[in-house]
Amino acid sequence: MTLLVVGANHTSAPMDLLEALAAADSAALATGALTSPHVAEAVVVSTCNRVEIYAEVDRFHAAVDDLTAVLAKATGQSVVDVTPQCYVHYDERAAQHLFEVGAGLNSMVVGEQQILGQIRSALADAQEAGTAGRELNEVTQAALRVGKRVRTETGLDRAGANVVTVAYADAFEQLSARGGPQAEQARLLVVGAGALSSLAVAHAARLGVGEVTVASRTVATAQRLAASYDARGAALDDLPALLADADVAVFCTGAVGTIVDRTAVAGVVAARPDRTLVLVDLALPHDTDPATAALPGVVRIDLAALAERPEAHADHSDSQAAAQIVSDELRDYFAVRAARAVEPVLVSLRSRGTAVVDAELVRLRERLPGLTEDEWATIEQSLRRTVNTLMHTPTVRIKELAADPDGQRYADALNSLFDLSVDLVDSMLLPREKLGETP
């Protein structure tokens, strides 16, 4: 079994496809992946700008076809249309991709902070649903470790950059350029009460935004979030009135379909022609009608626009340092995996050494019946120490050979050094050597 990822993100697919994928239930995608006879485990990472299925598979091409079909079904589009908008990574490149995602190198806003929590949640959901096993757990935990190292050892996220902070920078620049108030005097509306909404409210508090209101379908939920930041909670049913009072409205509900159309926004701005309304749509699928951007007095900022902001790009030295961490961790991860793969062989070698010593002791007891038990103990200790010493260097070499991509060299070395069965050696090869095909 080997790691495979099939997915789409902001660099490979248009927003309409990402919106369709984001609307799909992650658990349903993972369950759909497991209907393939070639998939043993599946974890789905779904964020505001990516949907990816990570899977442990036994065939490359067949598994790619099956996972692409799962994504296509979720979008309601044909496989032919979806395939060119997806990327595929396999084996070491798949693990590298996951590590880069965890590091924040593959995000719309490089170094953004939410991705680690999103990966952690994806793994927890898969474990709870029973779609993730040992292999995906280990590689995902390694990706989380990479992300923590990057944030600790580099300055990739020194500005705390994430979608919310970049969105606020853009929103208040746009508002100020049109004669609107500065952040300290502005009225901000956050629509939604989930994790991204919490970030939006928290950052508004850090910026010292003049007045913050949180709107949610459940008033009590909005009030709980608002209470933590000296904000006000309100019902989503009051959205027209709330918009009429706002300078900036941030949308991140996670709803399927728009909750604010062009007509509603047109009515709001018509009643206040001297004020600008900035709509920040961080949802995927989007919460606001893209057509609202054409209305006079309205500025609409979405995820695609945020990707063009300078803050979305990291300092080159920080990116290089993060990439080096990814490279180091990737090497270590596959070294550990290779060592684990040959452990059964090492157990067999140790058993063979023990058997040789035991047989020799039996032979010597028959030839030297007059020795005392203390003398036999000394002989046995000497024999076992000699065998262990002789086996030490070959054992180290076996672990080194295990990580070599040339599986035949590994098999030949074991067979030559220890006269092992080639069938036994082949059964211990790294998964990529056993798939019978290459990507």
CB contact at 8 A, 217 and 277: no
Q: What angle do helix axes 163-177 and 195-207 make, rounded to 10 degrees?
A: 50
CB contact at 8 A, 57 and 50: no
Q: Which residues pair with 280 in a beta bridge?
A: 250, 301
Q: Is 133 helix (H, G, I), strand (E, B) or coil?
A: coil
User: In degrees to the nearest 10, what's the CA dihedral of 212, 218, 223, 224?
Assistant: -120
DSSP character string of 158-191: TT---HHHHHHHHHHHHHHHTT---GGG-EEEEE
Calpha distance 248→174 (Å, rounded): 10
Calpha distance 54→33 (Å, rounded): 9
48 noted as active-site residue: yes
Q: In what order do the strands lie in the sheet with 187-191?
A: 232-235, 211-216, 187-191, 248-251, 277-281, 298-302
- Name the active-site residue from 48, 239, 301, 323: 48
Q: Which residues pair with 298 in a beta bridge?
A: 277
Q: Is 39 helix (H, G, I), strand (E, B) or coil?
A: strand
Residue positions annotated with a catalytic role: 48
